[in-house]
């Protein structure tokens, strides 16, 4: 089920750029790992809901604005799953569930973006978890691109919130279903910045500009 979450993260980024409003700019966007958060929720014995998140997501979004096309490729580190409870995390990462030692990455690749007018409705692509690949459709709750993310990070940016549901047993991680729900809900909040050089280098460029400005005083 953790793998599912990472997939969502990938789709979300792709959808965000593809659904961009003016002044969206074509090019390769790099997922910002500091502001991207895939989460997964499932019912536990029908009496509570458990939430987990993946803390390390990387990937790219290639956006072609004039032709309304986009392609996203995302990788989520399965070992970055966190529920806030170390013993539960250890169990979910073990061979009984995600088996992160054997399947360290969750991937999502998509180029199928569906619109209603200029509004992104969904993103469909291939999600791979636990070595198993299935087609999934992510519903876009919102998606937007802006010329500048904020006054200090002036690079163009795209972001989105997406969600889907799936059966974890379809990916070979169905232990204890249906007592522990087979059906899980995936939600992803994602941001990406224009530039193939990567988000970290853009943060470094910001730091350099601030240092240079301070030295001139």
Q: Where are the domains of the chain?
A: 2-215
Q: How far apart are the first and last CA of the chain?
A: 53
> What CATH class has 2-215?
mainly beta
**64's tokens:** 């072609």
Cis peptide preceding 178, ω within 30 of 0: yes
pLDDT at 69: 86
pTM of the full structure: 0.80
- Nearest alpha carbon to residue 51 among 63, 61, 59, 43: 43
- Nearest alpha carbon to residue 127 among 180, 164, 182: 164
Evaluate if residue 96 carries a pLDDT over 70: yes
Evaluate if residue 127 carries a pLDDT over 60: yes
How many C-beta atoms surround the C-beta of residue 68 within 10 A?
A: 14
């Amino acid at each position: 089920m953790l793998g599912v979450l990472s997939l969502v993260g990938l789709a979300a980024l792709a959808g965000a750029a593809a659904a961009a409003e003016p002044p969206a700019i074509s090019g390769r966007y790099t997922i910002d790992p500091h502001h991207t958060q895939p989460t997964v929720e499932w019912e536990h014995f029908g009496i509570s809901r458990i939430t987990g998140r993946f803390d390390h997501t990387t990937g790219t979004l290639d956006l072609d604005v004039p032709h309304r096309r986009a392609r996203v490729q995302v990788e989520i580190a399965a070992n970055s799953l966190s529920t806030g409870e170390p013993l539960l995390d250890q169990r979910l990462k073990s061979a009984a569930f995600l088996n992160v030692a054997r399947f360290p990455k969750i991937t999502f690749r998509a180029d199928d973006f569906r619109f209603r007018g200029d509004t992104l409705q969904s993103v469909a692509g291939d999600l791979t978890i636990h070595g198993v690949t299935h087609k999934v459709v992510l519903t876009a709750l919102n998606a937007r691109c802006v010329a500048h993310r904020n006054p200090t990070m002036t690079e163009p940016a795209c972001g989105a919130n997406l969600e889907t549901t799936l059966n974890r047993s379809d990916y070979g991680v169905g232990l204890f279903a249906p007592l522990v729900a087979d059906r899980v809900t995936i939600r992803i909040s994602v941001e990406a910045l224009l530039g193939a050089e990567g988000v970290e280098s853009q943060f470094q460029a910001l730091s350099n500009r601030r240092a240079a400005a301070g030295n001139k005083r």
